[in-house]
Amino acid sequence: MAKTATLKIDDQELELPVIIGSEGEKAVDVRKLRSTTGYITYDEGYGNTGSCQSEITYIDGEAGILRYRGYPIEQLAEGFSFEDVSYLVIYGELPTPEQSAEFSARLRNEAPIREGMVRFVQGFPRGAHPMAVLSSSLNALGAYHSQMASNNHERDLKHFDEAAAIAMAKVRTIAAHSYRVVRGKPLNYPRPDLDYSENFLHLMFSEPYEEYKATPEVASAINLFLLLHAEHEQNCSTSTVRMVASAGANLFASTSAGVSALWGPLHGGANQAVLEMLNTIHANGDDGSRFIEAAKDGKARLMGFGHRVYKNYDPRAKIIKGSFDKALESLGITDDPLLDIARRLEAAALSDDYFISRKLYPNVDFYSGLIMNALKIPVDMFTVMFAIGRMPGWIAQWHEVASNPKSRINRPRQVYMGPVPRDVM
């Protein structure tokens, strides 16, 4: 494999170093390009641009491979808790039983939010989208934990373990509160005897007159959903977290920005868009072919399909799809019309040359909404669930930026295409 890349430009010939990743990824290092040639690279959407070197997640998009800290997602999806996988993503190793118990205890202790924060969340109007509540509340957490949100990374890192637990524990509590506030329901308080997923379901669905008891199967389905969303290298929202962190911003401000980016329908908002598409097809009683035709005519995107990196089946979609029958059976659901529509839509798209030639396969969002729908999680909470799942990844990526003494502020260049110099008079 080449050690350098030769660039011939104008009357120069330049040898650019090549960086090889631990899994064989190859990158041409252009950090000296502008200072030696005056040229910059141009890559709108960053499809060919490595923004950092990272040790957290490896994706092989052509082969449909996803690994958290070297462990295949298929193995982690088998019997690991979201808490333990979050520990792996954040700290780099699977926890020992003692570390696991200590981390879970910390998450339980940090589950409640201050009464001032409760009032802040209750200030949102009925009908507000929970993602708006979540992104603003996450940033507000920094006001309640200012000793770890000083915007001085050296100082903030001294409280990293506590900040990580606060962000993970409270994002789940705030999410459940946002669900209830926008529906005018009274808030629940976390219970110290429940694990992460069970507590989330209790916070969401318990009523003053009736405690919600999650069945092991439902809690297991939530655990799997969260675990599959825990990390995904430099996606749009994670890159946003790193961008904000690169300026020296604290963990809460950075992850709040990540929530905002995730909300977009081309990113985490796709799971909500998929369910809305399936519900429309079901309500109209048609076969959904008009969504495929609209996608082929360039009038709309087939939501839940395609991926910037995966040019093969998203391994997470495969796992969710595979766990479906077990989840439905455990929920006592014999048939799910939306699942039948999704399966028909997938089969139609995967046999259509438009999708085949562009390597457009179902991504994690195509099936994830169906699981949440079966669990009676409302559609406007789907992307919120994604944000809860992604929090350990954002924390780990923020830490990579904050703890790197050579980290520089992210400041891309541009090619100016505006008016040439002119005078006002």
Q: Which residues bind ligand SDX (CB under 6 A)?
A: 45, 232, 235, 266-268, 270, 295, 301-309, 358, 360, 363-365
Annotated catalytic residue 365:
yes
Cα separation of 385 and 380, whole Å?
10
167, 138 in Cβ contact below 8 A?
Answer: yes
DSSP state at residue 305: B
> Which of 307, 314, 336, 399 is the catalytic position?
307
Q: Would you say 104 or 254 has its CB closer to ligand SDX?
A: 254
| Helix segments in 182-269, DSSP class H | 196-205, 216-228, 236-246, 251-262
The residue with its CB nearest to ligand SDX is 306
Shortest Å, Cβ 231 to ligand SDX? 8
Q: Which tokens is 397 given? A: 């990526």
367, 338 in Cβ contact below 8 A?
Answer: no
Q: Would you say 140 or 222 has its CB closer to ligand SDX?
A: 222
267, 235 in Cβ contact below 8 A?
Answer: yes
Q: How many CB atoms lie within 10 A of CB 353?
A: 8
Q: What is the CA radius of gyration of the chain?
A: 23
Cα separation of 56 and 37, whole Å?
34
Annotated catalytic residue 307:
yes
Q: Would you say 114 or 301 has its CB closer to ligand SDX?
A: 301
Q: Would you say 158 or 296 has its CB closer to ligand SDX?
A: 296
233, 390 in Cβ contact below 8 A?
Answer: no
317, 364 in Cβ contact below 8 A?
Answer: yes
What is the amino acid identity at position 382? F
> Which of 156, 314, 336, 365 is the catalytic position?
365
DSSP state at residue 379: G
Residue of 199, 229, 232, 225 lying closest to 324 (CA atoms): 225
Q: Would you say 177 or 267 has its CB closer to ligand SDX?
A: 267
Catalytic residue numbers read 307, 365
